Amino acid sequence: MTEPKLNAVGQSIQRRDGLGHVTGKTIYVDDIKFPDTLHLKMVRSPVPHALIKGIDFSEAEKVPGFVRALTHEDVPNNIYTILKLIGVGPDEEPVLAEDRVRYQGEQIAAIVAESPEAALEAAGKVQLDLEELPAVFDVEEALKPGAPILKEWGTNYFVYEGHHCRRVRYGDVEQGFTEADYIIEGRYQTSPIEHAPTETTGCLVKPEANGRYTVYTNTQALFFSLDNSALILNLPFNKLHFVGGTVGGGFGGKVDVIVEPIAILAAMKTGHPVRYVFMRDEEMRVSSTRGAWRMYYKDGVMADGRIVARQVTSYADAGAYNRHTPYAVTKHAANVAGPYNIPNVHIDAHCVYTNRQPGSAMRGFGVTPASFALEVQMDKIAETIGMDPWAIRFVNAYRNGDIKPHRKEVEDATLIETMQAAAELVGHPLPEEYKAMHSNDREGGNHG
């Protein structure tokens, strides 16, 4: 069989959905309407850490248009299983809070009503009897003895196969530090931020005549959401039919399966279509953030610019629940030393729980904070030893065949070529020595 040529690949052809976008004909979740749809709004914790002593719905029930309330007792398997589906455990976040809440905004009860206004009014009239507990907000404070504990297993950190953090151990950093001409340290902190897509997270669930439920959703991962919903609701998987594929901005914020399970439950209980769409303040204050990250670097550097030892201790602020942060910490550990050839690397990457809005995936998950910290640290190194910032990158850049700290051989390396192209773009003159480098110029890599 002959091979096809490239005709379409490489061309700037017009977007398939472009005409729909410019005419307003593209359909998003909130544009889909069915008669007799009910609306779901959440009752959320006003405080960051508390025991739930009681919930009183009596005033809420009097609101005209109130249909029903849902609590954890209505949820067949009241636990998010998103980590199980990607092979990480344990799962520990309830769909609706049971005996306690661990962040301000955590969902406690769902109110279903005939209009969004009635649902909001009723949610506002639910009376919560909460016993506040001390809260912890700082990642290092959360790891100290005596800190308020968030998890049933008695600690505030995720356990990685028996360890309190994700470890990377390559070479011998202590030996590297003794050989180094300079020791350069740095502490870097990123802020939690919001995806802020123009379309908020949401779904519309429609009970079908044949006993199935069609879920119109802006999730970034349809089967992931379907599978998780089926597990939570103890439904055969083939009872659920997820429809989507057009998302008004995701950036990682629509992979937490946060609206579908409870909306499906409400549809099951009421027999009506149910809409659950985040309001903008929920999207900002409650939905997952990019969690904050704190990173400590200690580098051993030679006078000629080579980094011979890099030690990174980092703390991911997961917030109150795992979501996908344990996964990101592993990804972070694979990237936090940077695209550089360093013979001795020691990484301790922690996933820490605090009483805040949980973090989860966002564009660059785990790597964005690492790239920020390590590239500012590289400049600090350059300044300390009196080298040009470009030079410090060229001297340390990895090549194909090098071994990364997590022991994977480098392939598809193009850091050098990319830096050369950037220098040319901005008219920054590079010494001949750096212009002559390329990603295949180290014979045998750094195996030796």
Partner 1 sequence: MAKVKGTGMAAVNYPTGMNLGGDPSQALIHATTTGTFIISLSSTDLGQGLKTVLAQIGADALGVPVDNVMIDTADTDTGPHCMGTFASRATHRVGNAIIMAAQEARQVMLDVAADELEVSPEDLETDGQGNVHVVGVPSRSIDLVSLALAAHFKYAKTISGRGMFMKPKSEVDPETGAMDPDSTEAHACTVAEVEVDTETGEVKVLSIKSAYEVGRQVNPALVEGQITGGSVMGMSHALMETTAPYYPAIDHSPGSFSDYLIPGPADIPVIESVVLEYPSSNGPFGVKGVGEMTANSPIPAIVNAIYNAVGVRITELPVTPEKVLRGIEEKNGS
Partner 2 sequence: MPAKIVSFNLNGRETEVMIQPMTTVQNLLREQLGYTATKVGCRQGGCGSCTVLVDGEPMAACLLPVENIAGKEVTTLEGITPDHGLHPLQEAFFENFATQCGYCTPGMLIVSKALLDRNPQPTRDQIIDALSGNVCRCTGYEPIIQAVQNAAQRMNGHQGE
Is residue 371 involved in binding partner 1 (CB under 8 A)? yes
Task: Report the candidate in 33, 107, 30 with the shortest Cα–Cα distance to residue 75.
Answer: 107
CB-nearer residue toward partner 2: 253 or 401: 253
Q: How far is the CB of 41 from partner 2 (least distance, A)?
A: 13
Contact pattern for partner 1 over residues 280 through 309, marking x by CB under 8 A: xx--xx---x--x-----------------
* C-alpha Rg value of the chain to the nearest Å: 26
CA–CA separation, 21 and 246 (whole Å)? 11
Partner from partner 1, partner 2, none binding residue 434, C-beta < 5-8 Å depending on class: none
Q: How far is CA 99 from CA 53, 73, 348, in A?
A: 7, 11, 33
**For residue 375, which phi and psi values (nearest 5 degrees)?**
-75, -25
Considering the rule CB under 8 A, would residue 21 count as an interface residue with partner 2? yes
Binding mask 403-422 for partner 1 (x = CB under 8 A): --xxxx-xxxxxx-xxxxxx
Please check whether residue 185 is in contact with residue 296, taking contact to mean a CB–CB distance below 8 angstroms. Answer: yes
Give the SS3 label for residue 358: coil
Choose the contact partner of 31 out of partner 2, partner 1, none; CB within 5 to 8 A by kind. partner 2
141: Cβ–Cβ under 8 A, 6 or more apart, which residues?
147
17 is a site residue for partner 2 (CB under 8 A) = yes
Judged by CB under 8 A, does residue 22 bind partner 1?
no
Shortest spacing between CB 298 and partner 1, in angstroms: 14
* Cα separation, 59 vs 43, whole angstroms: 13
User: In whole angstroms, how close is the CB of 322 to partner 1 at the nearest point?
Assistant: 15
Site for partner 2 in 166-195 (CB under 8 A): 195
156 binds partner 1 (CB under 8 A): no
Q: Which residues pair with 40 in a beta bridge?
A: 112
Instruction: By CB under 8 A, name the one of 280, 422, 424, 440 that touches partner 2.
Output: 280
* Residues 84-123, mask of contacts with partner 1 (x by CB under 8 A): --xx----------------x-------------------
In sequence order, the 6+-apart residues with CB closer than 8 A to the CB of 82 are 91, 224, 228, 256, 257, 323, 324
> Site residues for partner 2, window 324-363 (CB under 8 A)?
none
248 lines the binding site for partner 2 (CB under 8 A):
yes
Contact 55, 108 (CB under 8 A): yes
Query: Taking CB under 8 A as the rule, does residue 7 contact partner 1?
Result: yes
What does the alpha-carbon distance between residue 382 and residue 282 come to, in Å, rounded to a whole number?
43
255 binds partner 1 (CB under 8 A): yes
C-beta of 40 vs 95, nearer to partner 2: 40
Q: Does 62 bind partner 1 (CB under 8 A)?
A: no
The Cα–Cα gap between 80 and 246 comes to 24
When binding is defined by CB under 8 A, the residue of 37, 155, 248, 306 that contacts partner 1 is 248
β-pair type (345-353, 307-319)? parallel
* Residue 229 binds: one of partner 2, partner 1, none (C-beta under 5 to 8 A by kind): none
Q: Phi and psi dihedrals of 300, rounded to 5?
A: -105, 120
Tokens 């946060």, located at residue: 258
* Binding of residue 219 to partner 1 (CB under 8 A): yes
Question: Is 16 among the residues that bind partner 2 (CB under 8 A)?
Answer: no
For residue 271, count CB atoms less than 10 angstroms from its CB and return exposed for 0-12, middle for 13-18, buried for 19 or more.
Answer: exposed
Residues that bind partner 2 (CB under 8 A): 12, 14-15, 17-28, 30-31, 33, 195-200, 247-251, 277, 279-281
